């Protein structure tokens, strides 16, 4: 979650974590301590304990419950979020351990929950959250995503995460193009603003692109949205003003000149960016090249890539 959003949220804190594969994002009691004002680094919770039977038993005894439900709220569009369970796997189905997940709304955000040896983590929240979503910021390692949390108690099926290339390309400060494998991004001079909550080293801010299996896309696709090709772009949440021109391979083999609709997964509630947080939204149209090999976003207002995230395409409808 970026500093742009941070000013609108408060961080949930809790002095409880267990050696029983339980990661607590926030205590359910209204008397739980809270803090705000600084961006959480995404590192494992400093209060996490474990390694001894006594510590595990104490933490298990202290695990929060939600007998009284979520506190009352006057917030519109708030969802009472009690528990969220999620697990990460790779393309083979093997667990992905040691990765941080978050449950973030537009008003508050959990502490990171780190996946255990089985790739799993559980959040106990018991909070009213506006537009809550499970969020994974994969940095330069994995494709990032956010997927909506719509129920009080949510258990996601295993979520497949996709690795990014080990090396990336430096994004130019002048007008030009940057390439990762078969994917090219053309940008204007000074167009890119990196997410200030993320590391500022060259490796983290390098451009990377990885194809995502549309049958295992980590952010849920609505039944009405059938994307035929998806690419994950990094660094996530880097904004482009004006939007960049993206060119991807024509994997679906659409005919030359075909008109295409582009969609994007919203990983952050970005001011002025019309991509729904934790869901998918349109980012304009594109066209298949004359030789039929590539697909590029169209020029003009309402087209192009406004922020880096997962991007998908389908034939224009």
Instruction: Output the DSSP codes for 100-148.
Output: EEEEE-SSEEPPPEE--TTSEEEEEEEEEEES-EEEE--TTTB--EEEE
CA–chain centroid gap for 182, Å, is 23
Q: What is the pTM of this model?
A: 0.82
- What span, in angstroms and rounded, lies between the C-alpha atoms of 249 and 271? 30
CA distances from 55 to 50, 51, 61, 293 (A): 6, 7, 10, 58
User: What pLDDT score does 273 carry?
Assistant: 64
- What span, in angstroms and rounded, lies between the C-alpha atoms of 207 and 197? 17
Q: Which burial class, exposed, middle or buried, applies to 95 when counting CB atoms under 10 A from its CB (0-12, 13-18, 19+)?
A: middle
Quickly count: other Cβ atoms within 10 Å of residue 60's Cβ.
13
Residue-wise pLDDT tens for the chain (317 aa)? 443 443 334 445 333 232 223 333 333 433 232 322 223 333 332 233 233 344 344 444 444 556 667 999 999 889 999 999 999 999 999 999 999 999 999 899 999 999 999 999 999 999 999 999 999 999 999 999 999 999 999 999 999 999 999 999 999 999 999 999 999 999 999 999 999 988 899 999 999 999 999 999 999 998 889 999 999 999 999 999 999 999 999 999 999 999 999 999 999 876 666 789 999 999 999 999 999 999 999 999 999 999 999 999 999 99
User: What pLDDT score does 275 carry?
Assistant: 87
3 state SS of 211: strand
């Amino acid at each position: 979650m970026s500093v742009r959003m941070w000013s609108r949220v408060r961080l949930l804190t809790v002095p409880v974590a267990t050696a029983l594969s339980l990661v607590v994002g926030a205590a359910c009691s209204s008397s739980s301590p809270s803090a705000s004002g600084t961006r959480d680094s995404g590192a494992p919770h400093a209060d996490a304990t474990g390694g001894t039977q006594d510590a595990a038993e104490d933490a298990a005894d202290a695990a929060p419950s939600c007998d009284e439900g979520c506190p009352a709220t006057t917030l519109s569009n708030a969802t009472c979020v009690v528990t969220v369970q999620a697990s990460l796997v790779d393309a083979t189905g093997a667990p992905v351990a040691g990765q941080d997940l978050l449950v973030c709304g537009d008003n508050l955000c959990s502490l990171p929950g780190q996946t255990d040896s089985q790739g799993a983590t559980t959040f106990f929240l018991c909070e009213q959250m506006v537009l809550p979503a499970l969020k994974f910021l994969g940095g330069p390692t994995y494709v990032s995503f956010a997927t909506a949390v719509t129920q009080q108690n949510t258990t996601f099926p295993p979520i497949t995460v996709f690795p990014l290339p080990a090396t990336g390309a430096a994004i130019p400060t002048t007008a030009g193009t940057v390439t990762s494998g078969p994917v090219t991004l053309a940008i204007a001079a000074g167009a890119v603003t990196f997410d200030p909550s993320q590391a500022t080293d060259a490796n983290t801010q390098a451009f990377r692109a990885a194809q995502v299996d549309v049958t295992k896309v980590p952010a849920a696709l609505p039944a009405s949205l059938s994307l035929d090709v998806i690419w994950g772009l990094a660094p996530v949440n880097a904004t482009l003003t004006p939007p960049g021109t993206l060119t991807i391979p024509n994997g679906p083999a659409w005919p030359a000149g075909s008109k295409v609709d582009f969609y994007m997964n919203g990983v952050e509630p970005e001011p002025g960016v019309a991509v729904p947080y934790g869901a998918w939204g349109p980012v304009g149209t594109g066209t298949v090249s004359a030789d039929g090999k590539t697909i590029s976003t169209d020029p003009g207002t309402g087209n192009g890539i406004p922020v880096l995230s997962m991007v998908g395409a389908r034939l224009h409808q």
